[in-house]
Amino acid sequence: MDRMIAIVDRRRFLGGAGASLLATGAANASILAPPGNRLAFSVLREGKEIGTHTLIFARNGDMWTIQVAIDLLIKLGPVPLFRYEHRATEIWNGASFASVEAQTNDDGARTTLRAQRGPDAVIVDSSQQGKYEAPANALPSTHWNRRMLDGPFINTQTGQLMKSAVSPRGAGVVETASGRSVSVRRYEIAGPPVLETWYDERLTWTGLQFKARDGSQVIYKRQD
């Protein structure tokens, strides 16, 4: 059984599923970091927690470093069926994306990626996709930055340049991991799978949800 496709369709989204908040539009502005410079999610499948997704923001002058860590484990009783580990490091110069490096262990299949902004393009070098030039407005698919939805994005596991259609789905209310209700704006990203991602009034990434190919519901709930 293709366990990961059946459970989370990792090759399209989990390798890039990462944190919230909108970088401001001005080139010399700075990103808006979350309170405490940390953003964390509980990842649930059919209501059962299978792991976490955490982002840590650190500033040094105008430079920002964002560390992304995803750890998922699916078990049948005490027996591990599937393990997924993803690490990524993003560098931003103010509100401008500079580079990202990522490593993934997809149940034993390992991939790497590096992408760096050049004068006219983003240079991507991926163990799966090889080396190519992405458009200058391409961003990593780590979700924390609402601007990701405005243009093409680079899957930080596969290195694939993705141009999925994004559709606003209006206002809504979602629950955090503690059960607190948060008002959000919802956006649908065309799949497969079709994924809905949410941002609160501060444009902080608040979570996402989608149905895996086996019909199970996967949801990210932000930790308070």
DSSP summary character for residue 76:
E
**Which pair of tokens denotes residue 27?**
């080139």
**Which pair of tokens denotes residue 39?**
């953003």
pLDDT at 201: 94
pLDDT at 7: 46
Give the C-alpha separation, 137 to 117, whole Å.
9
Q: What is the DSSP string of 128-152?
A: TTEEEEE-TT-EES-SSSGGGGGS-
Indicate the domain borders of the chain: 3-222
Q: Identity (one letter) of the amino acid at 30? A: S
Give the C-alpha separation, 16 to 11, whole Å.
9
pLDDT tens-digit profile, the chain (224 residues):
334 444 444 444 444 443 333 333 333 457 878 989 999 999 999 999 999 999 999 999 999 999 999 999 999 999 999 999 999 999 999 999 999 999 999 999 999 999 999 999 999 999 999 999 999 999 999 999 999 999 999 999 999 999 999 999 999 999 999 999 999 999 999 977 899 999 999 999 999 999 877 788 999 999 99
Give the C-alpha separation, 89 to 75, whole Å.
28
CB 127 within 8 Å of CB 111: yes
pLDDT at 19: 34
